[in-house]
Chain A
Amino acid sequence: MVDLDPLPFVSNETLTRIREALTPSPRTVRNLRKELRQSGLAKLGIALIVGVLLMAAFAPVLAPHNPTNQNLDENQLPPLGFDRQTTNTTSEMVNGSITIVNQTSWVNSTVEHPLGTDSLGRDMLSRTIYGARTSLIVGIVGTSIAALFGVTVGLLAGYYSGRIDDVLMRSADVMLAFPSLVLAVALVGLIGTASVRVPDPFVLAGLTPNMPETFTLPGTVIIVVGLVNWVWFARVSRSEALSVRSEEYIKAARSVGASDRHIVLRHVLPNSITPIIVLATIQVAAIILLESALAFLGFSGTTLSWGFDIAQGRQYLSTSWWIATVPGLAIVVTVVGINLLGDWLRDALDPGIEGEGGGP
């Protein structure tokens, strides 16, 4: 932090403004807490997010079955309360002539599989719980990559202006010409779906021996969803940097010989952070939707993904509606939670944010 005292040429009023700008105002934080107590929707959003986060973090403990274990004897079991009738048509030889016999039987749901099973007899509840991991990791890491890259580009463009700004913003225009899904499909499809296997700490510690030993991270997908969404961060942080750069305290910092790096990191960034936080929240939701779309189209690196399950359930729509329905509801609940939080943050911080940030 720049030492403000040896600035005799700056008026006291400006000094106070500089100090205010440089220290996080406890008033704002307190206001946020107060408003949060008043906003039921924000609380609902946070509750949903915490629920999904817990599901993702403690998946091996919470899941009743191994989500990848197949059991063909128990395939397409309906969820609790949705017992269904099936008709088996067989032909029999009776007295030398063939008769066709229609046998109706009931397929009963079991408490073992409260959300039913898929076409290979895998437990839908366990798959849904594990799917939360993929969605959240891709959403959060992807957003971080996009934010890191986009904010760097945006701050530099806004702070330096001129030629750098022109080049960076024209390349942003080119990026924006493609919907993020199209770009992501092209990149993942052409690069290929590389994935990384990460050992599961719960299994490693011997707590949940029946669960998958490793968790598959869709590596290409994570990087690609980050790369196709950086533009939103670049645009928002650029316009913030543009409005901040002519402020008094920036001039003050520059006049005491602070380096550009110092000014950008310590002064421009902190004063541009509010809309970036709001955007990041909305982007997590957009990237979760994007990941599910990629997985649905078969461009994923993992089979434990809500989008993947929707794709496989689609083939059994006429017989087993729940295989495609359950993971979709999980996506809606998660994204509604994040959007509730994002809307509330936007209203509470009122940064006059630009853009809506993609989405398929």
Chain B
Amino acid sequence: MTTVSLGRFLLKRAVQGLFVVWGVVTVVFLLRFITPGDPVTFIAPLDASQELRRQIAAELGLNRPIYVQYLDYLWGLVWGDMGYSYISNTEAGARVFARLPATIELAVAATVVAVVLSIPLGVVSATRRHQPVDYGATLFSLVGISTPNFWLGIMLVLVLAVQFGFFPTSQRGIGFLPAIGQTLAQFDVGFVVGRLLELQLFDVWKYLTELPVTTWLAHITLPAITLGTYFTALITRLTRSGMLEELGEAYIRASRAKGLPESLVRYKHALRNTLAPVVTVVGLQLGTLIGGAVITEAVFAWPGLGTELIRAINLRDWPIIQGSLIVIGAGFVIVNTLVDALQAYLDPRVVAD
């Protein structure tokens, strides 16, 4: 496989991705015309005159032909302009992108939870087939994919936040980067080491729990588990079945026959081949999690893109609705394309297909 064909493959995927993003933008734009209700009625006062309504429509450019509005919107997007919010008169793009970090943070945290739990669980489950741990993992993944995640979130809040008070019930508290920054700035190594030497462990514990990064961790734990459980269950299943399949292959028998230690056979050969498709799925899930976080954000009052989208839908704040949907859709396409590119780089057979 030459590098030229890999480059051409990536270019082709990028162009395809661009077309899908264009499709996403078009669908989102058309949404305003296929759903009932005139945006002006939501903005204008109830007793507004026809004249005032016409004036508002003209000011927002809503009285122009659809194709003019469409081209204008597309042209604006090229320059990163999504128009102004109907309600708050701030730039829609700025609003949407201000909410994006919270959602990405949540999606990444959920993915971390899912990967850290699911892959070991799937491997153990496959290597100890028909043992209690396998049944446990299978039961967990069955219930995991069958549980509505908003309900799981509420149950976690009920037990861990309301009853025991281990975690805050909602809100984000502090962003990841500010938390890290502030912690680094205020962390007092001398104090901690000093107290440790004096064996004042409680003081050290108390000091650690009051750090900004601990606040961040406390706030994100329950939302991340809530969002991550479905994917944990999914990837556990995938790892288990992939591992079982690989362990039944001829090359595994050959490795065992030539006397390789079982741990090497399992983890170097079987696990490695199992992980390739798993990594693809994990990457793709990250893309869906950006939009999939909508309901988790609603449960925890998480100030992300989903919360913004629902608020905008209820107020018919069209520039924000369109902006959030485009960011969710385009985010998925971009992550998808990157995963494809990574896969093509790692496994040249993909390019040949």
Query: Which residues of chain A have a CB within 8 Å of any CB of chain B?
Result: 170-171, 173-174, 176-179, 181-182, 185-187, 189-192, 285, 289, 292-293, 296-297, 307, 310, 313-314, 317-318, 321, 324-325, 328, 331-332, 335-336, 339-340, 343, 356, 359-360
Which of A174, A192, A339, A359 makes the CB contact (< 8 A) with B142?
A: A339
Beta-carbon contacts under 8 Å, B317-353 to A: 321, 325, 328-330, 332-333
Distance between B321 CB and nearest chain A CB, rounded to angstroms: 7
9 further interface pairs, Cβ-Cβ under 8 Å (given A190-B321, A191-B36, A336-B142): A177-B21, A179-B332, A182-B306, A192-B37, A314-B154, A314-B299, A324-B155, A331-B147, A339-B146
CB-based contact B20/A177 at 8 Å: yes
How far, in whole Å, are A332 and B321 apart by their CA atoms in the complex? Answer: 32
Which of B148, B292, B313 makes the CB contact (< 8 A) with A292?
A: B148
Evaluate whether A307 and B148 lie within 8 angstroms (CB atoms) in the complex, with A186-B321, A336-B143 already known. Answer: yes
Evaluate whether A296 and B150 lie within 8 angstroms (CB atoms) in the complex, with A174-B27, A181-B292 already known. Answer: yes
Neighbouring B residues of A310 by C-beta, 8 Å: 148, 150-151, 154
When C-beta atoms are compared, the residue in chain B nearest to A288 turns out to be B148
When C-beta atoms are compared, the residue in chain A nearest to B22 turns out to be A174
Q: Is B236 an interface residue (CB 8 A)?
A: no
Total interface residues on B, CB under 8 Å, equals 46
Distance between B147 CB and nearest chain A CB, rounded to angstroms: 5
5 shortest interchain CB distances as A-B pairs: A174-B23, A328-B151, A189-B313, A335-B146, A190-B35
CB-based contact A324/B20 at 8 Å: no
Which of A318, A321, A325, A332 makes the CB contact (< 8 A) with B143?
A: A332
Neighbouring A residues of B21 by C-beta, 8 Å: 177
Pick from B24, B31, B148 the residue with the most CB of A within 10 Å: B148
CB-based contact B24/A177 at 8 Å: yes
How far, in whole Å, are A170 and B333 apart by their CA atoms in the complex? Answer: 13
Distance between B331 CB and nearest chain A CB, rounded to angstroms: 9
Could you name 19 residue pairs across A and B whose Cβ atoms are closer than 8 Å?
A: A174-B24, A177-B333, A178-B291, A179-B288, A181-B294, A182-B292, A182-B309, A185-B310, A189-B314, A190-B321, A192-B37, A292-B151, A297-B294, A297-B295, A310-B148, A314-B154, A328-B147, A331-B148, A340-B142
Neighbouring B residues of A178 by C-beta, 8 Å: 24, 291, 325, 328-329, 332
CB-based contact B20/A173 at 8 Å: yes
Evaluate whether A170 and B20 lie within 8 angstroms (CB atoms) in the complex, with A297-B310, A328-B155, A359-B230 already known. Answer: yes
